Structure 1
Amino acid sequence: MWRWRLTAAGVNLALGVPGVVPVWLVWYFLSNGPLAEVGWTRREPTENDGMLLWLVIVVPVVAVFGIIWWLANGPVCRRAALDPRVYWPAGALLTLAPTAVLIVNTYV
């Protein structure tokens, strides 16, 4: 049982390394689109091609990463002997851990 929980943690941390790319793409899209419209962020001054092009890039990348993440976590979730209501949010947080480390190291 513990071996599968450690496997789950390792799988999600390993997926978090390439997962930095979709998180960054979503942030870039939001910060130059909807969040800039309401005044939460400032639009990139050189970004004048519009946001439709970014949607063409962001949606497939996030979809492929989400499918890979789901397919990798499905079998491990069944074997880890954890409630799915605990496993899936914990897996998502562990996947975001490398992104959080990069954010913290940016400001230190």
Structure 2
Amino acid sequence: MKKARLWKSFVPVVVNLLLGIPAVVPIFLTWYFLSNGPLAELGWTQRDPNEDDGMLLWLIIVIPVVACFGGIWALTNLWMRRRLFAEGPPYPYWPVSVTLVLAPFFLATGFA
């Protein structure tokens, strides 16, 4: 019985880490949009001097990519949470899942 519980706890970890690899694209697109748009207007970042297409084009690209990935991630985690962890509070599951999805992005940024 203990092996089954251990196996069930590793499945969401592996799945969220694997989902974190393609998550690099929507996270980068979101950061690029924010750093060249609203954060640059506030003076917190500097705009890319080569970026002259405007922000509407970036919104047309960023929103579908982030929405598609967010939907896949949320549906996958809802399904895993319901199937593998029927009992217990959901509170520690979601912060750990978000952290695991963000981990490959921050590792790639740290080593780049």
Task: Report what 2:41 is aligned to.
Answer: 37
Structure of larger gyration radius: 2
Structure 1 position 31, deviation (Å)? 0.4
Q: Distance in 2 between matches of 1:83 and 1:4?
A: 16
Percentage of identical aligned residues: 52
Task: Report what 2:98 is aligned to.
Answer: 92
Unaligned runs of 5+ in 2: none
Give the TM-score normalised by the residue count of structure 1. 0.93
SS of match in other structure, 1:84: coil
Q: Distance in 1 between matches of 2:21 and 2:88?
A: 24
Task: Report what 1:15 is aligned to.
Answer: 19
Give the TM-score normalised by the residue count of structure 2. 0.90
Q: Distance in 2 between matches of 1:91 and 1:83?
A: 14
Any idea what the Cα deviations from partners look like across 1:35-85, whole Å, max 9, x if unmatched?
Answer: 101111110101111101100000000000001001111121121355211
Aligned residue pairs total 106
Q: Does 1:6 align with 2:47?
A: no
Unaligned runs of 5+ in 1: none
Any idea what the Cα deviations from partners look like across 1:1-52, whole Å, max 9, x if unmatched?
Answer: 2212100000100000000000000000000000101111110101111101
**Equivalent pair of 1:16/1:99 in contact (CA under 8 Å):** yes
CA RMSD across the alignment: 1.1
SS of match in other structure, 2:48: coil
**Equivalent pair of 1:29/1:51 in contact (CA under 8 Å):** yes
Task: Report what 2:109 is aligned to.
Answer: 103
**Equivalent pair of 1:16/1:96 in contact (CA under 8 Å):** yes
